[in-house]
Structure 1
Amino acid sequence: MEQLIEQLLSVLRGIVRWRWAACAVAWIVSVAGWAWVSTLPDVYRSYSRIYVDTDTLLNPLLSGLTVRPNTGYQVRLMAGTLLSRPNVEEVIRRADLDHSVNGEQEMQRLVEDVAKNLSLSGSGQTNLYQLSYTAEDPKLAARVVREAVNLFMERGIGNTARDLKKSQDFIEAQLRSYQARLVEVEKRVEQFKREHVGMLGRDGQDYYARREAARAALESTQLQLQEARQTRDTYRRQSEGTEPMLLFPQGGGARIDPELAQRIAALEKQLDALRLRYTDEHPDVVGTVRLIEELKSRKAASSVDAPAITDTSGPSAYAEQIAVSVANADARVAALETRVAAYAAKYKAMAEAVDRIPEIEREYAALLRDHAVLKSNYDNLIATREKASISQEVEDKTTAVEFRIIDPPTVPIDPAAPNRLLLSTTVLLLGLGAGIGIAFLLSQLRPTVDSIGMLEELTGRGELITVSDHATEASQRARRRGIMSYSLVTVALVGVYTAVMTLALIR
Structure 2
Amino acid sequence: MNDLIIFLRREIVGAWRYRWWAMGVAWGICVIGWLFVYSLQDVYEANAKFFVETRSRLDRVIGEVTTPDQVGDQVNLVKQAMLGRPVLEKVARETDLDLRASTPMGKNELISSLQQKIVITGSPGMERAPRPTDGIYTIAFRDKDRAMSLAVVEALLNEFMVDVVRGRQDSSKETIEFLREEITKYSEQLKARERALADFKQQNVGLLPSDSGGYFNRLQDELTNLSGLEVQLENALSRKATLEAQLRGENPFVDEPATATSSSAAAARVAGSGPRTEFDTRIAELEAQLSELLLRFTDRHPDVISVQEQIDQLRDRRAARIEEIQQNGGATSSALANNPVHQQLQIALNEINVEVAGLRSQLSRDRARIADLRNKVDIIPAIEAQLTELTRDYDQVKSTYDELRTLLEQEVIASRKQEAAVVNFRLIDPPYVGNEPVSPIRSLFLFAVLVFALGAGGGIAWLLHMLNPVFHDVSNLRDITGLPVLGAVSMTWLDRHHAHRKVELSSFAVAGGMLVVTFVLALLAQEPGGLFIRQLVG
TM norm structure 2 = 0.51
Aligned counterparts of 1:102 and 1:471: Cα–Cα separation in 2? 72
The aligned runs of 1:86-105 (5 Å cut-off) are 86-98=86-98, 101-105=101-105
Partner of 1:142: 150
Aligned counterparts of 2:168 and 2:88: Cα–Cα separation in 1? 21
Distance 1:100 1:475, change over 3 A: closer
- 1:113 Cα offset (Å): 1.6
Distance 1:48 1:64, change over 3 A: closer
Query: Letter of the aligned partner of 2:13 in structure 1?
Result: R
Partner of 1:223: none
Aligned counterparts of 2:85 and 2:174: Cα–Cα separation in 1? 25
- 1:57 Cα offset (Å): 2.0
Q: Alignment partner of 1:406: what SS?
A: strand
Aligned counterparts of 1:386 and 1:2: Cα–Cα separation in 2? 86
Q: Alignment partner of 2:453: what SS?
A: helix
Query: Letter of the aligned partner of 2:45 in structure 1?
Result: R
Partner of 2:494: 472
- 1:480 Cα offset (Å): 0.8
Aligned counterparts of 1:171 and 1:472: Cα–Cα separation in 2? 106
- 1:495 Cα offset (Å): 0.9
Select which of 167, 171, 182 maps to 1:163.
Answer: 171
Q: Alignment partner of 1:416: what SS?
A: coil
Aligned counterparts of 1:392 and 1:76: Cα–Cα separation in 2? 18
Query: Letter of the aligned partner of 1:118 in structure 2?
Result: I
- 1:41 Cα offset (Å): 1.3
Query: Letter of the aligned partner of 1:135 in structure 2?
Result: D
Query: Letter of the aligned partner of 1:130 in structure 2?
Result: T
- 1:397 Cα offset (Å): 5.0
- 1:167 Cα offset (Å): 4.5
Q: Alignment partner of 2:121: what SS?
A: strand
The aligned runs of 1:251-266 (5 Å cut-off) are none
Aligned counterparts of 2:148 and 2:159: Cα–Cα separation in 1? 17
Partner of 1:461: 483
Partner of 1:445: 467
Q: Alignment partner of 2:76: what SS?
A: helix
Select which of 454, 460, 477 maps to 1:432.
Answer: 454
Aligned residues: 318
Partner of 2:222: none
Query: Letter of the aligned partner of 1:7 in structure 2?
Result: F
Partner of 2:85: 85
Query: Letter of the aligned partner of 1:49 in structure 2?
Result: K
1:413 aligns with 2:432: no
- 1:65 Cα offset (Å): 8.2
Partner of 1:499: 521
The aligned runs of 1:332-481 (5 Å cut-off) are 394-396=417-419, 398-399=421-422, 401-481=423-503
Partner of 1:55: 55
RMSD, aligned α-carbons: 4.0
Distance 1:398 1:464, change over 3 A: same
Distance 1:14 1:91, change over 3 A: same
- 1:492 Cα offset (Å): 0.6
Distance 1:398 1:159, change over 3 A: closer
Q: Alignment partner of 2:497: what SS?
A: helix
- 1:100 Cα offset (Å): 6.1
The aligned runs of 1:180-199 (5 Å cut-off) are none
Q: Alignment partner of 1:450: what SS?
A: coil
Q: Alignment partner of 1:490: what SS?
A: helix
- 1:107 Cα offset (Å): 1.7
Identity in percent:
28
Query: Letter of the aligned partner of 1:456 in structure 2?
Result: R
Partner of 2:248: none
Q: Alignment partner of 2:518: what SS?
A: helix
**CA deviation profile, 1:388-423 (whole Å, cap 9, x unmatched):** 777666544542x43333222123311111111011
* Structure 1 residues not aligned, in runs of 5+: 182-207, 209-372
Aligned counterparts of 1:157 and 1:464: Cα–Cα separation in 2? 97
Query: Letter of the aligned partner of 1:153 in structure 2?
Result: M
Aligned counterparts of 1:489 and 1:100: Cα–Cα separation in 2? 45
Asked if the contact 2:29–2:453 (Cα under 8 Å) also holds between the matched residues in 1, the reply is: yes
The aligned runs of 1:176-255 (5 Å cut-off) are none
- 1:456 Cα offset (Å): 1.8
Aligned counterparts of 1:397 and 1:94: Cα–Cα separation in 2? 33
Aligned counterparts of 1:37 and 1:88: Cα–Cα separation in 2? 31
